[in-house]
């Protein structure tokens, strides 16, 4: 049986709160996991078990132990693939931040599929008796920093931190044209494209709120290099919003009708990472690909 243990020193509390509140509000542990921890008495405070309604204060030492049975899928059915090595930008006991190459899928879409980033991560982690867990994804033609979990205990925490935009991602893109407004926000709902199931469309069916912030940082020969931050996480959000602004991403095979470049110039550049349980902030920077250096 696998175990994942965390020993945490309580900090930054403004007042005493219950153990349950600390696990839920500060560590972002889901209710069903808190239930399992309580049932088996796998949370201790200062080396003693206490009921969940007891309080904790700053400088208390909390130990949390997760086991396989806490999770529906303690391992994923990923085939390890050692045909390519991965470029690791950051690693600790719980996660990897990997520099994804353009043209590689994030994850397999069918049984026994290999050749994706997660397969390569699985091959790397299997050497240490660990597995790769998907946290979020990048489009196949997008390069750059992406988070991969190393155990099931961090998956719900990382997913929550990304959903809440506590983990923050900044992108770079070369787009066609020169912007009249050099910085701004794009607030256009994104739904499905009725003519092409691969694509998304502004105000398409089942449209959801989508907010993108951009700032032009360089211009060259009717092209603009744009720094982009997304406040929502819709499929193809950056690509659809840039097209809607009349500035499609250079090399985009789906949304740039005048595309005559092989490489889509969209890159996950900077990552503000919050590490689960210890909640430390790390700033990860992915090297800018050679094809971006067009000036």
Q: Looking at the annotation, which residues are catalytic?
A: 139
**How far, rounded to the nearest angstrom, does the alpha carbon of residue 294 sit from its chain's CA centroid?**
28
Strands annotated E in 118-166? 133-134, 143-149
Q: Which residues partner with 99 through β-bridges?
A: 145
Can you tell me the distance from the alpha carbon of 17 to that of 117, in angstroms, rounded to the nearest whole number? 41
> Which residues, in sequence order, are CB contacts of 194 under 8 Å at separation 6+?
201, 204, 205
* CA atoms within 13 Å, Cβ hemisphere of 83: 9
Q: Tokens 């689960």, residue?
A: 276
Can you tell me the distance from the alpha carbon of 199 to that of 194, in angstroms, rounded to the nearest whole number? 9
Q: Write the burial class of residue 84 (CB in 10 Å: 0-12 exposed, 13-18 middle, 19+ buried).
A: middle
Task: List the Cα angle 240/244/250 in 5-degree steps.
Answer: 65
């Amino acid at each position: 049986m696998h175990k994942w243990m965390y020993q945490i020193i309580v900090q930054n509390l403004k007042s005493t709160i219950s153990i349950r509140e600390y696990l839920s509000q500060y560590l972002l542990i889901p209710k069903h996991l808190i239930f399992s921890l309580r049932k088996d008495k796998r949370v201790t405070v200062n080396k003693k078990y206490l009921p969940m309604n007891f309080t904790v204060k700053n400088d208390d030492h909390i130990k949390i132990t997760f086991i396989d049975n806490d999770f529906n899928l303690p391992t994923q059915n990923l085939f390890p693939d050692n045909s390519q090595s991965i470029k690791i930008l950051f690693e600790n006991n719980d996660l990897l931040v990997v520099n994804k190459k353009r043209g590689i899928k994030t994850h397999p879409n069918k049984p026994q599929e290999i050749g994706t980033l997660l397969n390569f991560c699985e091959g790397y982690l299997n050497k240490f008796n660990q597995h790769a867990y998907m946290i979020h994804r990048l489009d196949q033609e997008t390069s750059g920093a992406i988070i991969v979990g190393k155990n099931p205990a961090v998956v719900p925490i990382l997913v929550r931190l990304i959903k809440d935009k506590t983990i923050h991602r900044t992108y770079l893109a070369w787009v066609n044209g020169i912007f009249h407004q050099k910085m701004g926000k794009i607030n256009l709902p994104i739904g499905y494209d009725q003519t092409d199931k691969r694509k998304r469309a502004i105000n398409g069916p089942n449209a959801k709120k989508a907010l993108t912030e951009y700032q032009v940082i360089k211009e060259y020969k009717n092209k603009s290099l744009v720094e982009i931050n997304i406040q929502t996480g819709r499929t193809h959000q950056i690509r659809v919003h840039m097209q809607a602004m009349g500035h499609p991403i250079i090399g985009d095979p789906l949304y740039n009708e005048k595309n005559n470049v092989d490489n889509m110039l969209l890159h996950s550049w900077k990552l503000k990472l919050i590490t689960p349980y210890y909640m430390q902030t790390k700033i990860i920077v992915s090297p800018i690909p050679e094809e971006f250096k067009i000036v």
